[in-house]
Amino acid sequence: MHLDRYRASGAELIMGQARFTAPRTVEVELADGGIRRIRGDRVFLNLGTHATVPDLPGLAAARPMTHVELLDLDRLPGHLIVVGGGYVGLELAQAMRRFGARLTVIEQGPQLAGGEDADVAAAVLDLFRDEGIDVLLRTRLVGAEGTSGQEVRALTDGPGDAGVVTGTDLFVAVGRTPNTEGIGLELAGIELTGSGYVKVDEHLATTAERVWAMGECAGSPQFTHVAFDDFRVEASRRGIGYRLLTLPMAAVLRTRTLSEPRGFLKMLVAADSDQILGFTAFGAEASELMAAVQVAMMAGLPYTALRAGIFTHPTAAEGLTFLLSGTPTTAQ
């Protein structure tokens, strides 16, 4: 699909590994052999990131999986140890659990999904434990023994843990490293930040003339969607008053038809107007609800307009009527 789009756009796509040799000049090791040298009038870097495997005793020798190998597995792990309770670790842990593997998640922070609000993280933790996933919080991986795919031991440091978790497979999902090393950026005058991302200004211009960087390598958020709940963080940071509406998913009739009533909805509304500031949906068909509220926010609709909507029964959107008809609590 993407290749077809390239062809239709008229852009030339060269498959290969590029490396800078001079300002705005790259040498490409072509995937099907040979070298090609290209000089551009303007250059845009879109290098991305790769999974970080921390330098811990025995870890590399234990041959842990990243998401790349995990997504290629053609067998079910007996007991999968997941290091990292961010979204990549969580979504693949849950998938593997639902396929039938035993699961242990090790997270060094005080909650799963560290960037989320505490109530959202607590709900994810409840759901994970409910599904039979062991979760160790405030627990750091300090090393590994054995071999992933056979028998592997994750050596841990945390409150009340035994110092070791033994499983069959180890999956590391502890963050991303920018693909900026070893490709000659210094020969092109392109500087990096202290954490290895391409240094850019507010226009995404790099330190080199007529060179820009975008996407993850420029340190942009590692999602393509908008995190609605950031509005709440912003609201409290900026001292903006807001009203809070919450509803358990079980009260959304659609979830009864799906036999999946877990989760909740919450919306933040400005204290002094009916403007929607943020929205969180945690539960079945949450993605559909998010899009509906996003459209309302884009159009600047007050929450009362959504509340007045007559949404088809039994859809997830119908839950908005119940959520917004509740009594808001005031905060800040």
Ligand X SMILES: Cc1cc2nc3c(=O)[nH]c(=O)nc-3n(C[C@H](O)[C@H](O)[C@H](O)COP(=O)(O)OP(=O)(O)OC[C@H]3O[C@@H](n4cnc5c(N)ncnc54)[C@H](O)[C@@H]3O)c2cc1C
* Residue 146 or 278 having the CB closest to ligand X: 278
* Residue 67 or 79 having the CB closest to ligand X: 67
* Residue 202 or 272 having the CB closest to ligand X: 202
* Residue 25 or 179 having the CB closest to ligand X: 179
Q: Provide, rounded to whole angstroms, the least separation between the CB of residue 318 and ligand X.
A: 25
* C-alpha span between 142 and 76 (Å, rounded): 26
Q: Provide, rounded to whole angstroms, the least separation between the CB of residue 119 and ligand X.
A: 22
* Residue 216 or 318 having the CB closest to ligand X: 216
* Residue 69 or 134 having the CB closest to ligand X: 69
Q: Provide, rounded to whole angstroms, the least separation between the CB of residue 178 and ligand X.
A: 9
Q: Provide, rounded to whole angstroms, the least separation between the CB of residue 252 and ligand X.
A: 23
Q: Provide, rounded to whole angstroms, the least separation between the CB of residue 49 and ligand X.
A: 6
Q: Provide, rounded to whole angstroms, the least separation between the CB of residue 18 and ligand X.
A: 4
Binding site for ligand X (CB under 6 A): 17-18, 46-48, 67, 88, 179, 183, 215-216, 222-225
